[in-house]
Structure 1
Amino acid sequence: SVNVLAIVDERGRRTGRAIRGIPVVGPLDKLPQILDRFEARGRRAEAIILTRSRDEFQQYASLEELVEIAAQQKLELLMLPNLLDMKSIDAEIELTPIKLEDLLQRAPVKLDTRKIAAMIGGKNVMITGAGGSIGSELARQVAELSPLSLVLVDANEYALYCIKSELTQKRPDTRIDAVLCNVRERDAISNIVETHAPHLIFHAAALKHVPMVEAQPIEGIFTNAIGTRNVADAALRWKVSKMIMVSTDKAVNPANVMGATKRMAEMYCQAMDLDQKTCTTRFMTVRFGNVLGSAGSVVPLFEQQIKAGGPVTVTHPEIVRFFMTIPEACLLVLQAAAHEPDKIDERGRIFVLNMGSPVKIADLARNLIRLSGRRPDTDIEIAYTGLRPGEKLYEELFDRSETLSETGSPGILAASARSIERAVIVRIFDEMQRMVDDLDVEGALRLLQSTVPEFTAGPDIHLTMSRARSLRQ
């Protein structure tokens, strides 16, 4: 049971009154002194409970300020569930800790759920990279929309096993197949598409860790570029009605190999979408920024560092990123996929999710420290370690040369990015496949640079190339 000491009116309008004998105190900036007074009387507060929705609270006060006060006073910060979400009137009310998502949350986008349900319901859906953070959440959301069957493809056996087990328990009536395969295996991918006959393919398989792909560029090129081509070619060959490629803001003016390989993959899908001979299959690309809590993302790393007592490492005081939650990103991918362009001139466009405002990584670290009940720079230190190979201070969701337009779907914009004719991109990919087969790092990087001219290679890549050159001599 909860013993309520006081009710805080963050605007201070009802200060001095009482509700059922419980004093109303406020405003928010007086909260530290109010808490000290209670403690002096031997009634130390242990938690602050937020009883209203974040949006309501934010109209009059700052949630960040509340988080800061809670951290300074070493109090737990909890919130009430949305009463409208409760299953029954006498259900037990569970208090939950405020999470980073609650601080970063944006106004929820209104989705055209009818369109999304019609696209998935009764269809065979295949997801590559289904064990990954985006692929698995896409699989969860698709499974809820009554597909005829769901084909989960991943190269990681354990990740595939986990998502298959989870979905089989949740949706025992849906046919779910787990298929172990790497998108690099051209014939195997073609065989899977032929056997399972998907109507839709969500292509989320990729290598995405920037410094790792920087160190092993051939691996990134093979999975991200060639792998995408393998899936796209299989989709066309077996008349899949739609392939949706999950891309990234790192593909815009890429400063790293990972981003450049994703831009190359985008270009292949664009060329396929624009070609008259491919009209049996639509090829769509959806680009978004960082997702909170994905494997290898900054939040789990910060949480580990906080648990260990710090320091929390940030590469640069000014570095910013766009953030959105995984479920939100996946919902918008589904919304973009359900967008049906009417005109031929809408083909080949890249869908860009509206990611809101960029967030400073240092602020993110500070908020996480506060949410753990500690004080940044006092209890837990923040250390700046310098930008990593291929890392930019800020990401862009579209190039200045890409004209942006509204799609009619909220939260989703479309960029008309530079495209190459299909015959040309096919020759480039054939040549790239040869470079990959020969493990010719230098040649592969030169070809990547000429295909994606806006790619600015970092010093580590020149090092990789000179190392490759000396090994070959």
Structure 2
Amino acid sequence: MSRFIQRSHITFVHDIFMAAVSFPLALYMRVGEGIQFYDLNSIMLSSLAFMLIAAASFWYFGLYRGIWRYASLNDLSTIAKAVTAAVAILFLVLFLTTRLDWLPRSAPLIQWFLLMALLGGPRLIYRVAKDKSTARAFARQGTTRLPVLLIGAGDEAETFIRETQRSADTVFKVIGIVSLTEGRVGRNIHGVEVLATVDKLEDIVKKLEAGKNGLPRRLVLSGDALRHEDNVKWVEIADRYGMTLARLPKLGDLREGLADPLQIRPVAIEDLLGRPQARLDRDRVREMIGGKRVLVTGAGGSIGSELVRQIASYGPSSLTLVDAGEYNLYAIDMEMAEKHPDLARQSILGDVRDRKRIGQVFDHAMPELVFHAAAYKHVPLVEHNPNEGILTNTLGTRNVAEACRAAGVSTMVLISTDKAVNPANVMGASKRLAECYCQALETLPADQRGKTRFVTVRFGNVLGSTGSVVPLFRRQLEAGGPLTVTHEGITRYFMTIAEAVELVLQSAELGRHGVTDGGKIFVLDMGRPVKIVDLARQMILLSGLRPGKDVEIKVTGLRPGEKLYEELFHDSEPPVPTETDGVMLASPRVVDYAEIRQVFDALEDSATNRNTHKTLELISQLVPEFQPPEIGVKSIFSDAPAEAGSKQVGGSA
């Protein structure tokens, strides 16, 4: 701190000295040798007055917050403001005291340009000299910078190149740029040439390998390159040539000082979705949530907890968190206490299976918006515990939906899954039944349905959620492998948790205006499905390792109820676009409410009594696509005792 104060004092003394001499110099530049005929006392007094005025102006405009080493156009703009103010004040004072009878009218303009040069010139010279001395220091020390190739020729690339060229701390040297478009090919950014477009990436890598700089050590993605559809190919090219793939911080982070401009970060799996993430209309969502009483079931799960975080940021009047898992509920409750201490909230332990408990919660909280995310979601566990899956996913949804009707909730949002389309497992079928119930309610006449709109949102896997493949692969990588894949051809849709929740909120906002009339279901656009074996290979590569050599990928075989691929739409559900990018509507396949109530009552009886055969039979009545197992059911499931491992954890769908 003392060093900064000392340097700022030196700079201050330099600047006011330059201000003092600028007045007589400007006068001399205007009148030349004729200055000898001017009154010396008037010149001296005017110089002294200007020095004092300039000192106040320079300090007021903050000329000493900047660092000469990083002098820029922003600093020049600040200097211009301070000089303009000082010159204007001086000549106002001289006009009021002497009417400027003795001073040429052009002198103020000359002084302005002169003082700008006297203040800005030394700063620029210092920066240039410092940059050159840094480069010479690297040369003297024989420091070798790692060659990197940038993908993307936008603002982030320019910022990174500028920082690497002027910083003594970076170990990176940008040796070329590959552009996403043709427009900048052949041009350069701070002397670094834009070599080609990305479709010629491998040719450029080969050319650089044969050149004086050698093979780039890293491919660095900037800007829109992170969302480019070909970024998965770049991983493969990097692997072939022994390079690693990395990304720059976002430009907003660079501008806000939230990240080191010279830091190159590993590419995250979510960067390889191959599509831009959807944008949320925050104003409309804030209008929906702001000042409202909101309730979230499964609030401690992956989706539920992110719902809680995002909802809290929109200013609800109160937020009720419901979960059957004590620790998960405690964790999100503590997070809300730290981040939103003034938000009225209550955290309630409760199981959505318990109709009476859910009724008590609704009577107490009186919610206006309900987000139902509580569910069992792990396919093999639900496959081996089908009655538990039905009790939670299906009948739990019925309990929440009927509580919403009774409490006059404005909108209930059901979180569903792509596994509900042509379900090959109990989990998917249980979620399809939940969809059916909400659709049936939504199609009732308004006098029977009540005030509540029932909105269903269907999407696929979310990256990083509990029990999903990405955390599994990370744990397996930390253990040294192998990474286990159930089938080489298996594919899944993916999106980030934050993106999924943003689109859920957007769908809820659309749904409350009647977009889902007739029982339509919102389906989130998840881009192209990703092969799980490719995902495993990419995670190994992004860890700096080689698939099949450093870490093995092991095929273990499909698990019970697992499909090779998932679908977002049933054949009888043609997609309908909405006004929101990333959100579509599935045409309804609606079951009559009276019929579904009758089957649900029978399901409750069979599932509660653990009559597995009857439960599976009833499921197939409403979901004909679901074919219950015909072989070995008797040996796997017992009709009488409660099934092992059944524990409601309040996770999210």
Q: TM-score, normalised by structure 1?
A: 0.89
Unaligned stretches of 5+ residues in structure 2:
1-168, 642-653
Asked whether 1:9 is paired with 2:177, we answer yes
Aligned equivalent of 2:427: 258
Q: Which amino acid aligns with 1:429?
A: F
SS at match of 1:351: strand
Asked if 1 retains the 8 angstrom alpha-carbon contact of 2:253 and 2:259, the reply is: no
SS at match of 1:10: strand
Instruction: Provide the aligned length of Structure 1 versus Structure 2.
Output: 464
- Pick from 344, 352, 374: which aligns with 1:205? 374
CA distance in 2, matches of 1:468, 1:100: 38
Q: Deviations over 1:378-401 (max 9, x none)?
A: 222212111111011111111101
- Pick from 288, 291, 313: which aligns with 2:462? 291
Asked if 1 retains the 8 angstrom alpha-carbon contact of 2:410 and 2:512, the reply is: no
Aligned equivalent of 1:373: 544
More deviation in 333-342 or 193-202?
Answer: 333-342
Aligned equivalent of 2:619: 448
Q: TM-score, normalised by structure 2?
A: 0.66
Q: How does 1:40-439 map to 2 (within 5 A)?
A: 47-54=218-225, 58=228, 62-71=230-239, 76-86=244-254, 88=256, 92-93=260-261, 94-276=263-445, 277-340=448-511, 346-439=517-610
Asked if 2 retains the 8 angstrom alpha-carbon contact of 1:369 and 1:380, the reply is: yes
Deviation of 1:39 after TM superposition, in Å, equals 9.1
Asked if 2 retains the 8 angstrom alpha-carbon contact of 1:32 and 1:69, the reply is: no
**C-alpha RMSD of the superposition:** 2.9
More deviation in 436-445 or 67-76?
Answer: 67-76
CA distance in 2, matches of 1:21, 1:404: 50
Aligned equivalent of 2:96: none
Deviation of 1:309 after TM superposition, in Å, equals 2.1
Kindly tell me: are residues 403 and 74 of structure 1, through their superposed partners in 2, closer, same or farther at Cα, counting changes over 3 Å? closer
Asked if 2 retains the 8 angstrom alpha-carbon contact of 1:189 and 1:234, the reply is: yes
CA distance in 2, matches of 1:37, 1:19: 20
Structure having the higher Rg: 2
Q: Which amino acid aligns with 1:439?
A: R
Kindly tell me: are residues 465 and 38 of structure 1, through their superposed partners in 2, closer, same or farther at Cα, counting changes over 3 Å? farther
Kindly tell me: are residues 255 and 20 of structure 1, through their superposed partners in 2, closer, same or farther at Cα, counting changes over 3 Å? closer
Kindly tell me: are residues 343 and 128 of structure 1, through their superposed partners in 2, closer, same or farther at Cα, counting changes over 3 Å? closer
Kindly tell me: are residues 193 and 126 of structure 1, through their superposed partners in 2, closer, same or farther at Cα, counting changes over 3 Å? same
CA distance in 2, matches of 1:10, 1:244: 45
Asked if 2 retains the 8 angstrom alpha-carbon contact of 1:389 and 1:458, the reply is: no
Q: Deviations over 1:166-207 (max 9, x none)?
A: 122111221121111111111011100110111011000000
Deviation of 1:69 after TM superposition, in Å, equals 4.6
Asked if 1 retains the 8 angstrom alpha-carbon contact of 2:226 and 2:271, the reply is: no
More deviation in 165-174 or 256-265?
Answer: 165-174
Deviation of 1:279 after TM superposition, in Å, equals 3.0
SS at match of 1:126: strand
Aligned equivalent of 2:137: none
CA distance in 2, matches of 1:91, 1:262: 42
Q: Which amino acid aligns with 2:247?
A: M
Asked if 2 retains the 8 angstrom alpha-carbon contact of 1:390 and 1:457, the reply is: no
SS at match of 2:390: helix
CA distance in 1, matches of 2:369, 2:615: 31
Aligned equivalent of 2:201: 28
Q: Among the aligned pairs, what percent are the same residue? A: 47
Deviation of 1:237 after TM superposition, in Å, equals 0.9
Deviation of 1:356 after TM superposition, in Å, equals 1.0
Kindly tell me: are residues 48 and 438 of structure 1, through their superposed partners in 2, closer, same or farther at Cα, counting changes over 3 Å? same
Q: Deviations over 1:110-158 (max 9, x none)?
A: 4332221111000011110111111111111111111111111111111
- Greater fraction of residues in helix: 2
Q: Which amino acid aligns with 2:402?
A: D
More deviation in 373-382 or 362-371?
Answer: 373-382
Q: Deviations over 1:59-85 (max 9, x none)?
A: 8xx433443354456655332222234
Deviation of 1:20 after TM superposition, in Å, equals 6.2
CA distance in 1, matches of 2:258, 2:322: 43
More deviation in 124-133 or 162-171?
Answer: 162-171
CA distance in 1, matches of 2:298, 2:546: 38
Asked if 1 retains the 8 angstrom alpha-carbon contact of 2:244 and 2:541, the reply is: no
Kindly tell me: are residues 246 and 5 of structure 1, through their superposed partners in 2, closer, same or farther at Cα, counting changes over 3 Å? same
Deviation of 1:270 after TM superposition, in Å, equals 1.0
CA distance in 2, matches of 1:469, 1:79: 53
More deviation in 323-332 or 448-457?
Answer: 448-457
Asked if 2 retains the 8 angstrom alpha-carbon contact of 1:72 and 1:375, the reply is: no
